[in-house]
Amino acid sequence: MVTAPTLKARCYTLQQVLKLLQMNARTFRDLRRLGKLPFLEELKPRLGRHPRYRADLLDRYLANLWTR
């Protein structure tokens, strides 16, 4: 029996990022503006009005594998 490979999300929405980082939107906005979240890269172009962020970078940061 062959199982299908598990696919991870390629991107996260803002709400998903906030949940993963366990912070509120205001803190996120302030830290983002100050450049304190270098592991977040917004995908361009946006899909609609809402930003999406690269999942691989955030997953590496959460796994303590983040290096610049």
Is 5 within a domain?
Answer: no
Give residue-wise pLDDT tens across range 8-49.
658 999 999 999 999 999 999 999 999 999 889 998 888 788
**With 60 as the cut, is the pLDDT of residue 4 above it?**
no
Number of domains present in the structure of the chain: 1
Q: What range defines the domain where residue 18 resides?
A: 11-62
pLDDT of residue 47: 78
Is 24 within a domain?
Answer: yes
Measured CA to CA in angstroms, residue 33 lies from 7, 25, 38, 65 at distances of 31, 12, 11, 23
pTM above 0.85, yes or no: no
Helix, strand and coil in the chain, % to nearest 5: 40, 15, 50
